[in-house]
Structure 1
Amino acid sequence: MRALIALLVLAGSVQAWYLPGAAPRSFSPGDVVSFTVNALTPLASSPGVPPASAQGTAAQASVVKGITSYNYYDERFGFCRPEGGPSAIGEGLGSVLAGDRLFDSPIQQQYAVNWLVDGLPVATKRVADRTHETYYQIGFPLGRLFDDYMAPLPSPALHNHFDVYLEYHRRSDKEYRIVGATVFPWSRDSLKGNGDIDCKTDKMMILGPGSGAEGGGERKVAYTMNTYWKESATPWATRWDNYLRVFDPRIHFFALCNSVIVVVFLIVMVAMILTRSVKRDISRYNAIDLDEDVQEEYGWKLIHADVCRSPTRPLLLCVMVGTGAQLLGMASVTLLFALLGFLSPSNRGALGTTMVVAWTLFASLAGYFATRLHISFGREEWKKCVALTATCFPAVVFASILAINFFLLVSSSSGAIPFGTLLALVALWFLISLPLTLAGAFLGIRHGGYRAPTRVNAIPRQIPPAQWYLQPLPAALMAGVLPFAAVFLELYFMLNSLFGSRVYVAFGFLALTFLVTALTTATVTILYTYFALCAEDYRWHWRAFLTGGGSSFWLFTYGLFYWATRLSLPGLSTKILFLGYLSLLTLLNFLLFGACTIGWAASFFAVRRMYTAVRVD
C-alpha cells in the first residue's frame, strides 16, 4: 500500500514532453534561423498532369518517375552554394542508409527539392480532389511542365523564385518556436542583361533548346526568395500533424477492419476444425491401443517413428530458423518503438537506426535457436552452425547492399551509402553481432536439444505418392494467399512510402496487420502440416518452412504490379534498383514468416503436442 501511495505521489510530479525523440528548440528575437537542404527525390504526379501548381491545388498523385535521389549540390543542377562551400550536417546511421544528405544552406522526371527549417521539412500546400482537405506535401517541384492554366509548356520551366512562409508559435515575448514552413515556387526569368533582378516579372524561366540542360550550353539563373513570418496557434508538439494527415481515414479504417474480420473468421474456423479433427484422431488412436483385437495403425499415427527424423540439409534449416528468430525480435521491437512514438518523422533516420541496432542485438536469439535445434537433430558440428548463422544471412544482405550501391553510384544518386558507413556496418557485424551469436549459441548448448516425443526407427518408412495440392510448391502458393490477403492493404501504403513521396505513420494499423498476418501464417502452416502427416508424409520440416513463407511469392508479384501501375522507371539502372529492393524485401518476408515462430516453429510445437498426446507403443 505504501508503494502504491509513493507511486501516485511521484506520478503527480512527472512532467510529460514530446516523445518522438527530438527536443524543441526556442528562438529569441534576432536569432538566425538557418535553412538546411536535403537530397532531390522523385515526386509523385498523375500522367500528363503537373505535379503541383503555384496556387497549391493538384490532382492526386498516381505515378512516381524514378526511385533514385540526387545530391542537392550536384553540379548538374547549379544551385547556389554557401560561401566557403557547403558543410554536411551530422546524420544518424538510419538517415544515411535512407539516402538523406543534409547540408547547410532532371525536370522531366519531376523531382522534388527538399529544404528543412529547424528539422521541419519545407512543404507545399495541396488540396485533395475528393475530400478538399488542405494538406502539406514534403518538398516542392524542381520545375514545371505546365503553366498556371494547365496548358503544356513548349519546354520545361525552372522554379527559381520562392515565397517561403514560416509559422511560429509565441511562448513568451522572448521565446518563439518554428511550427510550420511552406513554400510557393515560381518560375521567373528575373535576371536582366545588365545584371539587375526583377522579381515581379511574369516571364517564366524556360529551359529551351540551346540553353541549360536541354541544349548542353550554359545559362545564368538568378535564385531569389521572399520570407514571410506568420504567428500560429499550433503548439510545437503537434507541428507534424499537417504533414502526417491520412486521406480518407474512414475508408482506410473500414477496409482494414473488413480485411481483419474476414481473416480472423477464417483463422477461427480453421483452428476449430483442426482442433476437433486432432482431438478426434487422438481419442480414436488411444482407443485402438486399448483394444487388443485391433493392431494396425493408420493416419498420422502410422508415421510416429519417422516424424522426428532429421530433415535433409539440417544445417541450412537451423541457420534459417535462427535468422528468422532474429528477424522476429527486430520486427517486434521496431513496431513497439513505432507505437510509442519514437520513430516519428521528426526524428530523422530513427526507423533505419532502430532496425539495424535491434538486428545486431538480437543476434543472440539466432545463435541460441540455431544451435539448440542443431543439437536436436543429433548433429555435433555446432561450430559450423554458429559460424554460418553469424555470417550467412548478413553476408547475403551486405552483398545485396553493395550491388545496389554500385548502381546508385553509377546513377550519381545521393542514396549511395558512403564507404565510412559501410565500414560501420561491418564493425557492428564483427564487434557486436558475432560475439552475441556466440553467447546465444553457448546458452543453446547448455540447454541442450529439444526432446523428441517419439523414438526414430533406423530404417525410414516409404512415403506414398501425394495429391498435387499437397506437393510443397503448390501448397506454399495456396497457403500464401490468406496471409497476403491480410497485409496487401497496408503493403500499398508501405510501398508508397518506400518508393514514392509519402510518409507512412499508420504504425497502429501496421502492428494490427502484423499480428493478424502472423496468426494467419501460423494457422495455415499447421493446417497444411496436418494434411501432409495424414497423407503419411513425415518430411514436414521444409514443407512447413516453405508454406509459412508462401506469402513472399505474392508479395513479389504485387511489387511487380505496383511497378507497372505506379512507377515509371527510366533507364536500366533504376529498373535493376527496384528489383533489387523488392527482392531483398521478399527475402526478409520469407525468412520472417517462414522460418521463425510464425511459420516453421508453429508447426514444430504443434507436431510435438500431437505426438505427445497420442499413446505410442
Structure 2
Amino acid sequence: MAIATKSPWMSMVLLCLSMIASLSHAFYLPGVAPADFQKRDPLLVKVNKLTSIKTQLPYSYYSLPYCKPNVIVDSAENLGEVLRGDRIENSPYVFEMREPKMCQIVCNVTLGEKEAKELKEKIEDEYRVNMILDNLPLVVPIKRLDQETAPIYQHGFHVGVKGQYSGSKDEKYFIHNHLSFLVKYHKDEQKDLMRIVGFEVKPFSVKHEYEGQWNGNNTRLTTCDPHAKRLITSSDSPQEVDVNKEIVFTYDVDFLESDIKWASRWDTYLLMTDDQIHWFSIVNSLMIVLFLSGMVAMIMLRTLYRDISKYNDLETQEEAQEETGWKLVHGDVFRPPAHSDWLCVHAGTGVQFFGMLLVTMMFAVLGFLSPSNRGGLMTAMLLLWVFMGVLAGYASARLYKLFKGSDWKNITLRTAFTFPGVVFVIFFVLNALIWGEKSSGAVPFTTMFALVLLWFGISVPLVFVGSYLGFKKPALEDPVKTNKIPRQIPEQAWYMNPLFSILIGGILPFGAVFIELFFILTSIWLHQFYYIFGFLFLVFIILIVTCAEISIVLCYFQLCSEDYLWWWRSYLTSGSSALYLFLYATFYFFTKLEITKLVSGILYFGYMLIASYAFFVLTGTIGFFACFLFTRLIYSSVKID
C-alpha cells in the first residue's frame, strides 16, 4: 500500500536514504574480527600498492614483473582505501599454518628492456613492496644500534638496492627476489586454535642457479636446497637487474609461537622511534598553551568586570561624562559588514567542518577508527562531512538573516558549492597529474562519480534543508540599536593595524598544534601509522580555546580603539593560523622530505593547500563565533539609553 505524503522534505529524506543504499558498496568497511586457524589451514598473502616517500606516487604491485597467480582477484575496498591509492590483490604466496617451507620456487622471469627499465626506476626511487596477511601489514625488523631494545619495524621491503659489486666502480641495480617470511601466531591451548599476531620478512637478492633445464616448481636449485641444508642467510651473489637477465623468485616461511595476544598485535606496528620526544613535546606544548590561555582569560575577566561596573555606575549616577572605550561604538558595532554574504558562507562551512572533526575524533578516541581498519578514517570523514551539510546551511542562513538578507537560496547555493567546489577543482587537477603518471593513486571514474553523487545528491540537499530550517526561525535581535549613519573611525595606532593584528593573532593557535602537526605530516608523507588520537583530541580542544581567546582579546582591543569593523577581522585573526600552517608545510617539504620530481612536489603543495584552506575555515569560524558571543554578551550587560 502506497503512503501519500504532502511534505517535500520527507521525499527528499527518502531520496537521500535510497542514494546511501545504492552507494553502500563504495563504503564497505572490512571486518576486523579475529580469524582462527588450525594446523595446515591455508594462509593467503595479499599484495598492496608499491609506495615511495621520494615520489609519493603509488603503483600497482603487478606493474612490475613479479610472479602472478593464475587469476588476479581484486579485494573489496572502501572509499578511503581507493582514495589512498590502495590496490589489494591476491598473490602466488600461499602458506599452510605451522608448515614451514624452505626455498620454495614461485616463478622465473626473463627481463625485457621495458621491464628492466621499470625495475631500475623503482629501485632508484626507493619503492617498497607492501603485503598483507590476515589484515596485518608486512614489516621488516631492523635492529637498533644498542641491540637491547626492541627493533624498529619498516613497513614493506624495498624492491631492490643500488650499489657497487665485485670491485666494479659502476653502480648497479639488484632486486630482492628471495623473501624469508616469519609468521608469528598466538595459540589457544584449550581450543587448539591459532591467531596470527605478526608478519615479518627479510628480503635477499640472490642470483639463483639450477641444474639442467627449467622445470617450474620442480626445478632443483643449487643456490638454495632444503634437502642439502643450503639455505639463504645472506646475499653473497646478488641478482642484477638488466636486459635478458633471468630472475628466479623464491621464498622461505617459518612460524613462531608468540605470547602476544590478538587484541594487542597492532601494538608492535604502532611503536614510534621517537615516542619519548613525542610525548614530552605534546605535554610541554599543551601546558604552555593552557598557561597562556589561563592568563588571557583572567586578564579579560578582570578588565571587563571593571569596565562594565564603571559604565553602569556612570549611568546610575547620571554623570554627564563623555563615553569612552568600547561603549562609545555601541551604535555601530552590530552594523552588517561588507561582503556579509561571503562571511555567512565561510562561517557555515566552518560549522560543518567543526562538526565533522568533532564526531570523527570522538569515534577515533573510542577506537572505532584504528589503523587496522584501512581507509576507515577517510571514509568516516567524508560521510560525516556530507551529513554535516545540515549544520552548514543552518548556520549560514541564521547569520544571513541577522544581516537582513532575503535571498536565502543564493546564500545556500554558495554554501553548498564554494568550499567543496574549490577542493574538487584542486583534487581533479591533481588526480589528472597522477593519472598522467600512470599511478594506481589515480581515483577511478566510478569513485569520482560516487564523490560527485555524494556532493550533489546528499550534501547539497541537506544544506538546503538546514538553510530552510535556519531561515524559517525568527532573526536574532541585537542587544543594542544600530545608528543610521556610521560614525567615523579614528586613526589607529600602528599595532592596531588590521594586517598586523591579524598576522599576530594566528601565531598562538598555530603554536598549539605545530608539534602535533609534525607527526601528522610524518604519518601522511612518510607512510607511518598515526594512532595517538587521545592527544590529538586534547590538542583540538586546546586549539578551540586558543582561537576563541586570542580572537576575543584582539576584538576587545579593537573595540576599545573605537574601531567597530570587527566581523571580518575576528574571522581572519584566528584564521591566519592557516598561513603559518602552509609556511610550516613548506619548511617540512625542504627539510624532511626527499621529493625531487615536479609532479610529486605539485601533489604535496596541492594537498597541503587544501589542508590549509580547511584549517583557515575551521579556525576562522571558531574565532568569529567566539567574538560574536562576546560582543553580544558585553553590550547586553551595560545600560545604554
TM-score range, shorter chain: 0.7 to 0.9
- The one-letter code of the counterpart of 1:354 is A
SS of equivalent to 1:170:
strand
Structure 1 spans left out of the alignment, 5+ residues:
1-18, 43-63, 212-216
Q: Does 1:170 align with 2:156?
A: no
Residues in 2 aligned to 1:322 and 1:191: alpha-carbon distance in whole angstroms: 68
Q: Taking structure 1 as reference, are residues 205 and 515 closer, same or farther at Cα in structure 2, changes over 3 Å only?
A: same
Residues in 2 aligned to 1:520 and 1:493: alpha-carbon distance in whole angstroms: 21
Residues in 1 aligned to 2:522 and 2:296: alpha-carbon distance in whole angstroms: 33
Q: Does 1:601 align with 2:617?
A: no
- State which of 169, 173, 190 in structure 2 corresponds to 1:156: 173
CA shift, 1:254, in A, is 2.3
Residues in 2 aligned to 1:479 and 1:236: alpha-carbon distance in whole angstroms: 48
Q: Residues 80-91 of structure 1: matches in 2 within 5 Å?
A: 80-84=67-71, 86-91=72-77
Contact 2:164–2:172 (CA under 8 A) maintained in structure 1: no
Q: Taking structure 1 as reference, are residues 304 and 194 closer, same or farther at Cα in structure 2, changes over 3 Å only?
A: same
Residues in 2 aligned to 1:292 and 1:355: alpha-carbon distance in whole angstroms: 57
Q: Does 1:537 align with 2:566?
A: no
- State which of 67, 77, 88 in structure 2 corresponds to 1:102: 88
> Which deviations, in whole Å up to 9, do the C-alpha atoms of 1:566-599 show, x marking residues without a partner?
111122111111110110110110001112xx21
Q: Does 1:65 align with 2:67?
A: no
Contact 1:92–1:349 (CA under 8 A) maintained in structure 2: yes
Contact 1:376–1:449 (CA under 8 A) maintained in structure 2: yes
- State which of 86, 109, 115 in structure 1 corresponds to 2:131: 115
> Which deviations, in whole Å up to 9, do the C-alpha atoms of 1:65-112 show, x marking residues without a partner?
2222111111xx21111113x221100111111111111111122111
Greater mean alpha carbon deviation, residues 518-527 or residues 386-395: 386-395
1:393 alignment partner in structure 2: 419
2:25 alignment partner in structure 1: none
Residues in 1 aligned to 2:570 and 2:620: alpha-carbon distance in whole angstroms: 7
CA shift, 1:404, in A, is 1.2
1:27 alignment partner in structure 2: 37
2:371 alignment partner in structure 1: 345
Q: Taking structure 1 as reference, are residues 128 and 370 closer, same or farther at Cα in structure 2, changes over 3 Å only?
A: farther
> Which deviations, in whole Å up to 9, do the C-alpha atoms of 1:509-556 show, x marking residues without a partner?
111111111111110011111111111111111101100112111111
- The one-letter code of the counterpart of 2:207 is D
Greater mean alpha carbon deviation, residues 353-362 or residues 152-161: 152-161
1:477 alignment partner in structure 2: 503
Q: Taking structure 1 as reference, are residues 71 and 473 closer, same or farther at Cα in structure 2, changes over 3 Å only?
A: farther
2:297 alignment partner in structure 1: 271
Residues in 2 aligned to 1:117 and 1:616: alpha-carbon distance in whole angstroms: 72
Residues in 2 aligned to 1:432 and 1:103: alpha-carbon distance in whole angstroms: 32
CA shift, 1:469, in A, is 2.5
1:308 alignment partner in structure 2: 334
TM-score by structure 1 length? Answer: 0.88
Contact 2:142–2:152 (CA under 8 A) maintained in structure 1: yes
CA shift, 1:191, in A, is 4.8
1:202 alignment partner in structure 2: 236
1:55 alignment partner in structure 2: none
1:223 alignment partner in structure 2: 249
CA shift, 1:202, in A, is 2.7
CA shift, 1:314, in A, is 0.9
Contact 1:146–1:152 (CA under 8 A) maintained in structure 2: no
1:13 alignment partner in structure 2: none
Contact 1:94–1:353 (CA under 8 A) maintained in structure 2: yes
Contact 1:101–1:414 (CA under 8 A) maintained in structure 2: yes
Percent sequence identity is 41
> Which deviations, in whole Å up to 9, do the C-alpha atoms of 1:459-494 show, x marking residues without a partner?
111112222332232212211111111111111110
- The one-letter code of the counterpart of 1:98 is R
Q: Taking structure 1 as reference, are residues 381 and 337 closer, same or farther at Cα in structure 2, changes over 3 Å only?
A: same
SS of equivalent to 1:221:
strand
Contact 1:374–1:449 (CA under 8 A) maintained in structure 2: no
2:634 alignment partner in structure 1: 610
SS of equivalent to 2:37:
coil
1:8 alignment partner in structure 2: none
Greater mean alpha carbon deviation, residues 179-188 or residues 390-399: 390-399
Give the alignment's Cα RMSD to 1 decimal: 2.1
Contact 1:368–1:443 (CA under 8 A) maintained in structure 2: yes
SS of equivalent to 1:38:
strand
Contact 1:157–1:205 (CA under 8 A) maintained in structure 2: yes
1:190 alignment partner in structure 2: 208
Residues in 1 aligned to 2:280 and 2:418: alpha-carbon distance in whole angstroms: 42
1:60 alignment partner in structure 2: none
SS of equivalent to 2:397:
helix
CA shift, 1:147, in A, is 8.0
- State which of 175, 180, 196 in structure 1 corresponds to 2:198: 180
Q: Taking structure 1 as reference, are residues 153 and 517 closer, same or farther at Cα in structure 2, changes over 3 Å only?
A: farther
- The one-letter code of the counterpart of 1:608 is R
CA shift, 1:431, in A, is 2.0
CA shift, 1:450, in A, is 2.0
Residues in 1 aligned to 2:177 and 2:169: alpha-carbon distance in whole angstroms: 19
Q: Does 1:332 align with 2:348?
A: no
- State which of 408, 414, 429 in structure 2 corresponds to 1:382: 408
Q: Does 1:573 align with 2:559?
A: no
CA shift, 1:26, in A, is 1.4
Q: Taking structure 1 as reference, are residues 132 and 202 closer, same or farther at Cα in structure 2, changes over 3 Å only?
A: same
Q: Residues 585-600 of structure 1: matches in 2 within 5 Å?
A: 585-595=611-621, 598-600=622-624
Structure 2 spans left out of the alignment, 5+ residues:
1-28, 92-121, 225-231
SS of equivalent to 2:248:
coil
Q: Taking structure 1 as reference, are residues 126 and 520 closer, same or farther at Cα in structure 2, changes over 3 Å only?
A: same
Q: Taking structure 1 as reference, are residues 484 and 231 closer, same or farther at Cα in structure 2, changes over 3 Å only?
A: same
Contact 2:164–2:171 (CA under 8 A) maintained in structure 1: no
Q: Taking structure 1 as reference, are residues 410 and 469 closer, same or farther at Cα in structure 2, changes over 3 Å only?
A: farther
Contact 1:376–1:448 (CA under 8 A) maintained in structure 2: no
Q: Taking structure 1 as reference, are residues 409 and 511 closer, same or farther at Cα in structure 2, changes over 3 Å only?
A: same
Q: Residues 444-523 of structure 1: matches in 2 within 5 Å?
A: 444-523=470-549
SS of equivalent to 2:581:
helix
Greater mean alpha carbon deviation, residues 448-457 or residues 516-525: 448-457
SS of equivalent to 1:223:
strand
Contact 1:168–1:232 (CA under 8 A) maintained in structure 2: yes
- The one-letter code of the counterpart of 2:68 is R
Residues in 2 aligned to 1:584 and 1:312: alpha-carbon distance in whole angstroms: 26
Q: Does 1:560 align with 2:598?
A: no
Residues in 1 aligned to 2:319 and 2:331: alpha-carbon distance in whole angstroms: 22
SS of equivalent to 1:536:
coil
Residues in 1 aligned to 2:383 and 2:597: alpha-carbon distance in whole angstroms: 35
> Which deviations, in whole Å up to 9, do the C-alpha atoms of 1:6-62 show, x marking residues without a partner?
xxxxxxxxxxxxx996111112233211111111112xxxxxxxxxxxxxxxxxxxx
Q: Does 1:137 align with 2:126?
A: no
Residues in 1 aligned to 2:356 and 2:169: alpha-carbon distance in whole angstroms: 49
